[in-house]
């Protein structure tokens, strides 16, 4: 090996702690990039493979009752490749040992066995035998959460009749990778599942013999989805079709897409922060290193090494650090990515997982990581290569201090001389102080941005659970009934308040834009489920117009005052033009609101309800549950207390996990920056500080000069750090919002305080580690070192 | 020593300006150095010896005046050309050895031989200065005199035409200093290297062909040494 390269290796070994500190910061950037892009790719590949093997449909449609004779006509629609027709119904489930009712979606399996589309994968046991009326397969997570293995039995209320069903198999389906009940906000495996049953008993239970009410289609290559949807809608309209849609409205797929989008956003937002900070760190350390190496550089020049050779030598040092950081990031990112992909199985049910982070994420992160350090090194190296050898070989002149305005003020304040040394050092090297401040504020920003996500989720929860939905139980009715039913419902056991609600599927159209959604009838007296404006005030319904959530308004490109076309997708299936009266910020959902009288006038019917929201005397809940389990009119139950508990538990678990990861990242940046700044201070000022010791200052007093300066810089970094955190949060709020959840930009005071505190504590830790080196300095050597 | 001129210096001045203060280090030097000669530069501290030597070795550039090395004029050369000049023709020895602390004796020498056209082997260079047995020692494991001899080995390993030494014995005691001078003396004698040697120590002038005294940035006197002495005969 060449002598200069030997020197390089030994330099790296000598400076290992500083190099490691930089490599760690760089590694964080690389890790986040590998993690996010790797997980995203793995999840996407897994999804695509599963969709492919499971023959996941591309178009979905529901109707009231479609005769099977219509199937050939549907299959003939140009662009349709495969058709799967089935019976689908919501059922209330009575599980052994569970007081409250559970809910399930019951789907029929064709008499021929495996469906053409949306094929369930058997995980345990088998599919129901043809001809067996009581055999069912269950979605795996629901069965597992309730301890239902093949052989177990449970009861379901099918069309008002209590039936005992026997579990023969546990399955997964590409349709339910993310399984969430209607109206629920989170998966609740105990209370919501899917039941697959033979077609004959299912159709009989649903009163759909010889007919179906659920249709899935796969398209031929190159077919127009919009054209097929329009054709299907035309065919199904007379049979109560509620609007065919593509995967963009399929709940499970939408959640998956949202997750992939968020991972992509994470890969875009976070790594640059780390890479920029490490570039600055490399610059700071290398400039300093090169200052210390001035005599060597002078010597190399004297020997006839060219400026380029010398520059390359120091560039190699930074590349060495870069390679270390990239490798660290690769290992950590690869490992965490595999763990993270594994974790997704808790939320997303795939029969298998493909962990394939792909070479691209590794390659891109390496290029960016090495680029960052090289960029940081170039400036410092350039300066070194330009030094005249005779100048370089002399020890650098003592730094020139000047008395400025700050000094005058400090003197007037009567500050101690050690404090003056701190202030002078900062004002003398403002660039270096700025790098330290920038690095620490980047760390604080990362912390704020990470804690912010929990603030925003808390805000969403608060909006969804405590301010908007104040009911304890929601009963879904199998059919719309006259609003007078609320009086009867008030007599259900334990019920203290009943409010009826009515929603129906609609299509809103404006110009070429259109959206499939629900419209909700709002009555003046509604107090349990409320519609709130951005300030949390109850919105008074305009007598005629629509009130839209922002996301839906944006999709349609409408503002208050615009007119949209409203097509009712249930009888009377009219289409009318209606004005948009108001647009509201709203985190969850895309439901449009309208005053109840206006909607029922459009429908030309007396007021109706298809949901009942209840307040209940908690002591009498079991009695209510028992009544609900046998009520034929009820096909679904939402227990809000359960949802709240589930949501809280899930969020808390995620919170701890994610906070740990990001807190570690924040700590690493801070430590990387402060440790390097401290080491530089130490090497630069050891003479000065040792002199203080010789003069009789105590270790603590001398340590104060070092630690005090770094802590002062850390405190200076707090305001810009918090500000930066707000900026990143705004980016995240924009980048991470999906069709289903809009992430509100809310940051709590606690977030700011904790972020700043973590930075301060880790900075103090790093500075104190270096202070211990200061304590160990041999006074005589430190003083001699100067010549 | 021959009577062919190797270095020619005309009207050399050097002014250092740092901040508001300007220091005139050289105030007009005219000088010739001959092929194969060993000269000693004497003079009080601050008289400009180092400045002159640095300019001769192209480590620094003069404010005014001209320098010729053989038929080439160094003044006005580009930085790259000056680097090439140093790389091919000049070896340096400094007062504080200036070894790279992270490289062993042999590696410090190899540093130079790796970039020279017809170097001797590092081992050979170290043997010439009597350090053939300390090849794998790091600078911190060598005495001052040994370090300085490694520096000399490093300087002569590329067989330079010019060897410029700035107080090579300044930090050494008399006995150690003599071993260092011997290494220089032999390099000059055996390889014909033009050697310029700065010293504070008037006794050392006896090993030189000529002695040049500087005072206050000017040449005060030049005297030829009728009777040269071997370094072993010197003591201080
Ligand atoms: N880099 C420099 N900047 C400013 N002044 C310098 C510099 N180098 C040398 N000097 C000044 O130039 C004068 C000559 O210095 P030098 O050549 O080192 O003298 P000598 O080597 O004879 O002791 C001295 O007054 C010295 O202070
Ligand atoms: Mg000198």
Write out pLDDT tens, residues A223-245: 999 999 999 999 999 999 998 99
pLDDT along chain B (236 residues), means of 10: 86 86 91 94 92 90 93 88 87 82 87 86 89 88 88 89 89 82 89 91 90 94 87 80
Q: So what's the pLDDT on residue B68? A: 94
User: B115 touching A, CB under 8 A?
Assistant: yes
When CB atoms are compared, the residue of B57, B83, B98 closest to A295 is B98
Residue A407: both structure tokens together: 């000094």
Side-chain half-sphere of A559: how many Cα atoms within 13 Å?
A: 0
A164-189 per-position pLDDT tens digit: 999 999 999 999 999 988 877 778 88
The two structure tokens encoding residue A743 = 């992430």
φ, ψ (nearest 5 deg) of residue B35: -55, 135
Q: How far apart are CA B75 and CA B82, in angstroms?
A: 9
SS3 labels along A289-333:
HHHHCHHHHHHHHHHCCCHHHHHHHHHHHHHHHHHHHHHHHHHHH
What secondary structure letter does DSSP report for A467?
I
Is any ligand 1 atom within 6 A of the Cβ of residue B54?
no
Residue A638 CA, chain-centre distance (Å), reads 25
Q: Which residue of B has its CA nearest to A301?
A: B83
Distance CA B5, CA B7 (A): 6
Asked if residue B51 has its Cβ within 6 Å of ligand 1, the reply is: yes
- With a threshold of 0.85, tell me whether the complex ipTM lies above it: no
Name the residue at shortest CA distance from atom 27 of ligand 1: B46
Domains of chain B (ranges; CATH) run 36-61+82-233 (3.40.50.300)
Is A438 in a helix, a strand, or coil? helix
Q: Which residue has the tokens 């001899």?
A: B149
pLDDT at residue A765 greater than cutoff 50: yes
Going by alpha carbons, the residue nearest to atom 7 of ligand 1 is B16
| Domain over A495-616 is classified CATH 2.40.40 | yes
State the SS3 of A524-562. CCCCCECCECCCCCECCCCCCCEEEEHHHHHHHCCCCCC
Helix (H) or strand (E) holding B67: strand B64-69
What residue segments make up the domains of chain A, in order of their start?
A: 1-58+266-397, 60-253, 495-616
Give the gap in angstroms from C-alpha A177 to the nearest C-alpha of chain B: 60
Q: Check: CB of residue A506 under 8 Å from CB of residue A541.
A: no
**Whole-Å CA distances, A602 to A233, A386, A501, A505, A510:** 21, 82, 17, 14, 19
Residue A397: both structure tokens together? 């002149």
List CB contacts of A777: < 8 A, sequence separation 6 or more.
A686, A689, A690, A693
Q: What is the pLDDT of residues A503-552, one digit of tens each?
A: 999 999 999 998 889 999 999 888 899 898 888 888 999 998 999 998 89
User: Which pLDDT tens digit goes with each residue over A690-738?
Assistant: 777 777 777 888 888 889 999 999 999 999 999 999 998 898 888 777 6
Answer whether B44 contacts ligand 1 (Cβ < 6 A). no
Exposure string of A566-600, with b = 16+ CB inside 10 Å and e = fewer, is: bbbbbeeeeeeebebbbbbebbbbbbbbbbbbbbb
Chain A, nearest residue to B105 by Cα? A3
What percentage of chain A has pLDDT greater than the value 90? 39
Query: What is the distance between the alpha carbons of residues A677 and A546, in angstroms, rounded to a whole number?
Result: 60
Chain B residue with minimal CA distance to A393? B98
Give the whole-angstrom CA distance, residue B99 versus residue B153.
Answer: 11
Angle between helices A307-347 and A16-53 (to 10 degrees): 40
* Spatial CB neighbours of B218, under 8 Å, sequence gap ≥ 6: B26, B27, B28, B29
As a whole number, mean pLDDT of residues A396-401 equals 62
Residues with CB under 5 A from ligand 2 (ion): B 50
Verify whether ligand 1 is closer than 6 Å to residue B144 (CB atom).
no
**CA dist., res. A687 & res. A684, Å (int):** 8
Residue nearest atom 12 in ligand 1 by C-alpha distance: B25
């Amino acid at each position: 090996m060449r002598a200069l390269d030997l020197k390089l290796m030994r330099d790296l070994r000598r400076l290992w702690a500083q190099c490691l500190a930089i490599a760690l910061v760089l590694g964080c950037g690389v890790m986040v990039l590998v993690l996010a892009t790797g997980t995203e790719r793995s999840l996407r590949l897994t999804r695509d493979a599963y969709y492919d093997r499971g023959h996941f449909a591309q178009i979905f449609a529901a109707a009231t009752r479609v005769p099977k004779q219509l199937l050939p006509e549907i299959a003939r629609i140009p662009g349709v490749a495969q058709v799967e027709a089935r019976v689908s119904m919501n059922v209330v489930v009575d599980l052994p040992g569970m007081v409250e009712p559970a809910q399930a979606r019951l789907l029929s399996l064709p008499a021929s066995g495996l469906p053409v589309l949306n094929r369930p994968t058997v995980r345990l046991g088998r599919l129901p035998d043809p001809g067996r009326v009581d055999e069912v397969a269950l979605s795996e997570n629901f069965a597992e959460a309730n301890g239902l293995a093949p052989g177990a039995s449970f009861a379901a209320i099918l069309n008002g009749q209590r039936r005992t069903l026997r579990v023969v198999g546990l399955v997964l389906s590409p349709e339910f990778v993310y399984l969430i009940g209607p109206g629920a906000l989170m998966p609740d495996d105990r209370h919501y599942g899917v039941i697959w049953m033979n077609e004959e008993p299912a159709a009989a239970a649903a009163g759909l013999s010889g007919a179906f009410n659920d249709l899935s289609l796969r398209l031929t290559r190159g077919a127009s989805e919009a054209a097929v949807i329009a054709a299907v809608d035309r065919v199904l309209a007379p049979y109560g079709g509620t609007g065919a849609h593509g995967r963009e409205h399929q709940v499970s797929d939408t959640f998956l897409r949202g997750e992939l989008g968020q991972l992509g956003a994470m890969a875009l937002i976070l790594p640059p922060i780390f890479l920029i900070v490490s570039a600055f760190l490399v610059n700071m350390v290398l400039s300093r290193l090169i200052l210390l190496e001035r005599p060597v550089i002078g010597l190399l020049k004297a020997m006839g090494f060219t400026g380029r050779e010398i520059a390359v030598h120091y560039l190699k040092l930074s590349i060495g650090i870069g390679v270390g950081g990239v490798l660290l990031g690769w290992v950590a990112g690869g490992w965490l990515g595999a763990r993270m992909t594994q974790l997704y199985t808790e939320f997303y049910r795939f029969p298998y997982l493909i962990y394939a982070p792909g070479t691209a994420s590794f390659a891109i992160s390496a290029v960016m990581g090495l680029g960052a350090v090289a960029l940081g090194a170039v400036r410092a190296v350039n300066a070194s290569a330009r030094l005249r050898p005779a100048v370089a070989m002399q020890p650098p002149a003592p730094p020139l201090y000047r008395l400025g305005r700050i000094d005058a003020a400090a003197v007037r304040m009567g500050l101690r001389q050690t404090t003056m040394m701190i202030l002078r050092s900062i004002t003398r090297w403002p660039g270096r102080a700025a790098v330290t401040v920038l690095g620490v504020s980047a760390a604080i920003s990362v912390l704020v941005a990470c804690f912010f996500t929990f603030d925003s989720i808390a805000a969403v929860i608060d909006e969804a659970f405590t301010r908007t939905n104040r009911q304890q139980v929601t009963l879904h009715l199998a059919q719309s009934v006259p609003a007078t039913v609320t009086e009867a419902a008030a007599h259900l056991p334990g019920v203290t308040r009943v409010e009826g609600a009515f929603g129906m599927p609609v299509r809103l159209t404006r110009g070429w834009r259109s959206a499939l959604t629900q419209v909700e009838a709002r009555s003046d007296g509604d107090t349990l489920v409320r519609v709130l404006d951005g300030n949390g005030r109850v919105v008074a319904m305009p007598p005629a117009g629509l009130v839209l959530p922002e996301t839906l308004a944006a999709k349609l490109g409408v503002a208050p005052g615009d007119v949209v076309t409203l097509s009712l997708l249930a009888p009377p299936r009219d289409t009318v033009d209606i004005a948009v009266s108001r647009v509201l910020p709203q985190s969850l959902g895309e439901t449009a609101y309208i005053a109840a009288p206006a909607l029922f006038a459009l429908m030309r019917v007396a007021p109706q309800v298809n949901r009942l929201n209840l307040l209940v005397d908690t002591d009498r809940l079991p009695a209510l549950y028992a009544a609900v389990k046998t009520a034929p009119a009820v096909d679904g139950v939402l227990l809000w207390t359960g949802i709240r508990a589930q949501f809280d538990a899930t969020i808390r678990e995620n919170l701890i996990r994610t906070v740990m990861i990001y807190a570690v990242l924040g700590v690493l940046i801070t430590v990387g920056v402060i440790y390097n700044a401290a080491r530089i201070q130490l090497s630069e000022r050891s003479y000065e500080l040792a002199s203080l010791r010789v003069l009789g200052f105590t270790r603590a007093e001398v340590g104060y000069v070092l630690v005090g300066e770094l802590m002062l810089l850390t405190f200076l970094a707090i305001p810009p750090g918090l500000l930066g955190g707000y900026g990143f949060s705004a980016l995240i709020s924009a980048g991470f919002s999906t069709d289903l959840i809009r992430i509100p930009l809310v940051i709590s005071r606690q977030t700011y305080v904790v972020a700043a505190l973590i930075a301060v504590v880790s900075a103090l830790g790093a500075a104190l580690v270096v202070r211990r080196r200061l304590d160990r300095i041999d006074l005589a050597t430190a003083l001699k070192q100067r010549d | 020593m021959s009577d062919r001129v190797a270095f020619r210096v005309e009207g050399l001045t050097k002014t250092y300006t740092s901040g508001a203060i300007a220091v005139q280090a050289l105030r007009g030097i005219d000088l010739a150095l001959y092929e194969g000669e060993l000269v000693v530069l004497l003079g009080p501290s601050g008289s400009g010896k180092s400045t002159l030597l640095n300019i001769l070795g192209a480590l620094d550039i003069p404010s005014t005046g001209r320098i010729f090395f053989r038929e080439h004029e160094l003044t006005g050369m580009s930085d790259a050309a000056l680097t090439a000049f140093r790389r091919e023709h000049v070896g340096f020895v400094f007062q504080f050895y200036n070894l790279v602390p992270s490289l062993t004796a042999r590696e410090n020498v190899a540093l130079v031989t790796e970039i020279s056209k017809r170097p001797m082997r590092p081992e050979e260079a170290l043997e010439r200065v009597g350090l053939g047995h300390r090849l794998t020692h790091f600078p911190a494991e060598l005495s001052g005199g040994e370090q300085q001899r490694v520096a000399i080995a490093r300087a002569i390993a590329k067989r330079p035409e010019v060897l410029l030494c700035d107080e090579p014995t300044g930090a050494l005691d008399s006995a150690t200093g003599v071993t260092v001078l011997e290494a220089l003396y032999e390099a000059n004698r055996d390889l014909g290297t033009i050697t310029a040697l700065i010293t504070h120590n008037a006794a050392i002038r006896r090993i030189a062909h000529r002695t040049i005294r500087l005072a206050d940035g000017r040449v005060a006197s030049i005297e030829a040494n009728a009777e040269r002495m071997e370094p072993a005969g010197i003591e201080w």
